[in-house]
Amino acid sequence: MNVTTTVPLAVRTRGLRRTYGERTAVHGLDLAVPEGETFGFLGPNGAGKSTTIAMLCTLLRPTAGTAEVAGADVRRTPWEVRRRIGVVFQEPTVDRDLTAEENLRLHAELYGVPRRELRSRSRYLLGLLGLDRVGTPVGAFSGGMRRRLELARSLMHRPRVLFLDEPTVGLDPQSRAAIWEHLHGLREQQPVTLFLTTHHMEEAERCDRIVVMDQGRVVAQGTPRQLKAELGADVVHLRTADDRGVAATLRAEAGLDVGCGPDGVRVSVADGAALVPRLCAGLTTPVYSVTVTRPSLDDVFLHHTGRTIRDAGAAPASAEVSAVTS
């Protein structure tokens, strides 16, 4: 990834690679993430996102290539990388028997936060994330509250880069929106680079830049606006009595760019609204619904991989997932 900027880089990788036996989970990854950016990895389970995060956080040793995080080399000075980063994993790691403040205090002790700063820092972060009035053990917290506590804990030692691996996994839409509201507030309050993985399109839309990954490779990169603009076409979605048959007919007789998946028939065309009357008039198969949308990030993924991100995510997870989480 080539980024022309005078801003210092928070993350840089060159040819980063990770294999498990004969299987390659990440293929020669090149990244350049400027400081202060909200940067996202978009892709289904098994795409190599978590493996990349694990290498950047020094939890996995790269098979080949180099990586620097916050100016420290993940191979030569992993202890420096750990001092300069915060991490929020997919699975909760807070102590359920402790209160929120006790969890922060324990983390601060482990990272050597000066005692004179501990109390004020803890109160500031708990207030920032809406947990300052909660004194009960974490076991009584909702999923969204635990996620916010994970964020607060990861920020106690003032990291320069915050890694968020699927930050809202398992949360309801309201809790996901609340987490992002807090993340935006965090960006306004202190300088930190956010590096996140996600398979939620709405989360990828919130990033300054994204990389689309599939099967361990980068298939597209840029701002969300740039990636969608590259397609330059509307998408017509049809649900019919025979989606596969309609898709085959449109390909053969109309020469259209047609896809078919669990969400129905998808036709990419420059002017979707103008095409709809002609499509419906020419079909003998009953049409149940028709919608026209501008390109989305799911369309970007489909364009570069031939699948929607939901189709890709439905496939069995690769070996890299179990290796990282074990």
Looking at residue 156, which CATH number applies to its domain? 3.40.50.300
144 and 178 part of one domain: yes
CA distance linking residue 277 with residue 290, whole number of Å = 10
**Residue pair 235/291 in contact by the 8 Å Cβ criterion:** no
162 and 252 part of one domain: no
CA distance linking residue 308 with residue 291, whole number of Å = 17
215 and 262 part of one domain: no
In a domain, 21, yes or no: yes
SS3 185: helix
123 and 145 part of one domain: yes
From first to last of its 326 residues, the chain has per-residue pLDDT tens of 555 556 789 999 999 999 999 999 999 999 999 999 999 988 877 889 889 999 999 999 999 999 999 999 999 999 999 999 999 988 888 999 999 999 999 999 999 899 888 889 999 888 888 887 778 899 999 888 898 899 899 989 999 999 998 888 777 788 788 888 878 877 777 788 999 988 788 888 889 999 998 889 999 999 998 888 887 778 889 999 999 999 998 888 777 889 898 889 988 888 888 888 888 888 889 999 999 888 888 888 888 877 776 665 554 444 444 445 43
18 and 73 part of one domain: yes
Q: Quote the pTM value.
A: 0.76
14 and 139 part of one domain: yes
Q: Is the dihedral of CA 265, 270, 273, 278 positive or negative?
A: negative
In a domain, 203, yes or no: yes
What domain range includes position 64? Answer: 9-227
Q: How far is CA 34 from the centre of its chain?
A: 17
In a domain, 313, yes or no: no
201 and 281 part of one domain: no
Which of 227, 258, 286 is the endpoint of a domain? 227
In a domain, 262, yes or no: yes
| H-state helical runs in the chain | 49-56, 78-84, 100-110, 115-128, 143-154, 173-189, 201-204, 224-231, 243-249, 272-282, 297-305, 309-313, 319-325
290 and 169 part of one domain: no
DSSP state of 140: G
Which of 177, 209, 227 is the endpoint of a domain? 227
Q: What Å distances lie between residue 167 and 65, 111, 201, 211, CA to CA?
A: 27, 22, 13, 17
In a domain, 321, yes or no: no
Question: Residues with Cβ < 8 Å from 67, sequence gap 6 or more?
Answer: 11, 12, 13, 14, 16, 55, 56, 73, 74, 75
In a domain, 88, yes or no: yes
Other beta carbons less than 10 A from residue 1's beta carbon? 14
How many domains, the chain? Answer: 2
105 and 139 part of one domain: yes
137 and 283 part of one domain: no
pLDDT for the residue 63: 96
In a domain, 325, yes or no: no
Beta bridge partners of 41: 197, 211
256 and 111 part of one domain: no
Task: Give the HSE-up count for residue 214: Cα atoms under 13 Å, Cβ half-sphere.
Answer: 20
136 and 266 part of one domain: no
CATH of residue 290's domain is 3.30.70
In a domain, 324, yes or no: no
Which of 178, 199, 227 is the endpoint of a domain? 227
